[in-house]
Structure 1
Amino acid sequence: MKNILLLIVGGFAIGILLAFLNIQFNFWGFVVILILAFAALSYRDVRYMFLSKDIDKIERYLEKKRHEPYYGFILELANGNLSLAKNELDELERKWKGKKTAVFWAQYYLKAKNLSKAKEKLEQIEQVDIRTYIQAGIAVEEKNFKVAEEFKSLLSKDWMKLAIELEMALGRKNYSLAKEKKEQALAVTKGLQYYMLYREFEQLKGDSS
């Protein structure tokens, strides 16, 4: 939002300046310049949210943006600070006024092992893959591995399947398999998802840790 506002203000300022100086310019060329400027300003966010595998840089990015409750929540949940994560969620709820926060609450309750609350939030999650992923996670917590397998088979994203396989391996205390699944899951993820998986299973030492 800040970047967009900067571009709008900058665009108006440039337009006024060009008009004042009576300088002719190509409108579509000006639009292209604005688009390129927006891409340049947004690259840092895109890089750390979706592309990077540098844990330290992603964490510094989250720390700088932690004044926004969404990023604060990711940072605290990934590091297991559940009370602080809940504070961020409460703030997010106030800011977003209840819109599409169910997935974050379900993730929080699952991490806090409050499975009844996590189940209550499932019906409010619109994204089918995410809802199924959380259902599989709940089944793993309940040691119902057969049901977890059934939910896992419905997932379309490889990292989700691997993360559930990792959780099941941990639930069965098969730590060598869990390490293997951790490495496979990290290999197919980037950005914030990579950061969350890495931090959550950091205790499982593997080749890329």
Structure 2
Amino acid sequence: MKNLLLLILGGFAIGIILGVLNVQFNFWIFVGLLVLAFIALSYRDVTYMFLSRDVEKIEKYLEKKRHEPYYGFVLELADGNLTGAKKELDELERKWKGKKTAVFWAQYYLRDGNYTKAKEQVVKVDQQEIKTYITAGIAVAEKDYKKAEELKGEVRKDWMKFAIETELALSRKNYVLAKEKKEQALAATKGLQYYMMSKEFQEI
């Protein structure tokens, strides 16, 4: 967002300067250059959020952005610091006025073992597949394996299926299968989700 704002302001300033100097330029070439500049500025964000499988580099990237409560929450939750995660969530609520944070609260309460609160939050999640995925996690935590298996069949993303299978195997104390499913889940995703799963399942 910051990069986009800087790019817009920069493009606006350049346009004014070129106009004052009466320099002729092709509008579409100018737009194309702005798009390329935006891609260049956003490259690191896109790489670490969606493409990387380097946990250390992703973590360093998140640490640099820790001042933003969303990234602070991700770091604290990944490290299992629930007190810190709640503090970041409270700040996120204050900063994101009006934006829905139910998905984060549902994840927090699930990790905290407060399944009643997790259920209250997950029903507010708009994205159906994410809602189903978190609900499956709650079902595993409550040892409702039949429901978890049914919900697993409703998600389309492979990493979600494998992550649910990992949780099921762990809950059933089948650690060999859990490790196998963890590796499949990690192989099916990248970026921030890869980082979160690597941290969550690092003891397997």
**Residues in 1 aligned to 2:12 and 2:154: alpha-carbon distance in whole angstroms:** 49
| Counterpart position of 2:113 | 113
TM-score when normalising by structure 1: 0.95
| Counterpart position of 2:152 | 152
Deviations 1:11-45 (A, max 9, x none): 12211221232211001110110011011101111
**Residues in 1 aligned to 2:5 and 2:197: alpha-carbon distance in whole angstroms:** 33
The answer to which of 181-190 and 7-16 deviates more is 7-16
Cα deviation, residue 100, structure 1: 1.4
Q: Which amino acid aligns with 2:173?
A: K
| Counterpart position of 2:173 | 173
Aligned residues: 204
SS in 1 for 2:47: helix
- CA RMSD in angstroms comes to 0.9
| Counterpart position of 1:58 | 58
| Counterpart position of 1:141 | 141
| Counterpart position of 2:99 | 99
**Residues in 1 aligned to 2:85 and 2:38: alpha-carbon distance in whole angstroms:** 31
Give the alignment of 1:1-209 within 5 angstroms. 1-204=1-204
Q: Structure 1 98/17 Cα, relative in aligned 2: closer, same or farther at 3 Å?
A: closer
Deviations 1:122-141 (A, max 9, x none): 22111111111111111101
**Residues in 2 aligned to 1:4 and 1:154: alpha-carbon distance in whole angstroms:** 36
**Residues in 1 aligned to 2:186 and 2:20: alpha-carbon distance in whole angstroms:** 54
SS in 1 for 2:66: coil
**Residues in 2 aligned to 1:38 and 1:87: alpha-carbon distance in whole angstroms:** 33
Q: Which amino acid aligns with 1:182?
A: K
Q: Structure 1 37/15 Cα, relative in aligned 2: closer, same or farther at 3 Å?
A: same
Deviations 1:75-118 (A, max 9, x none): 11111111101011001111112421000000000011100000
Q: Which amino acid aligns with 1:51?
A: L
The runs of 5 or more residues in structure 1 that have no matched partner are: 205-209
Q: Which amino acid aligns with 2:104?
A: F
Q: Which amino acid aligns with 1:145?
A: Y
Q: Which amino acid aligns with 1:74?
A: V
SS in 1 for 2:87: helix
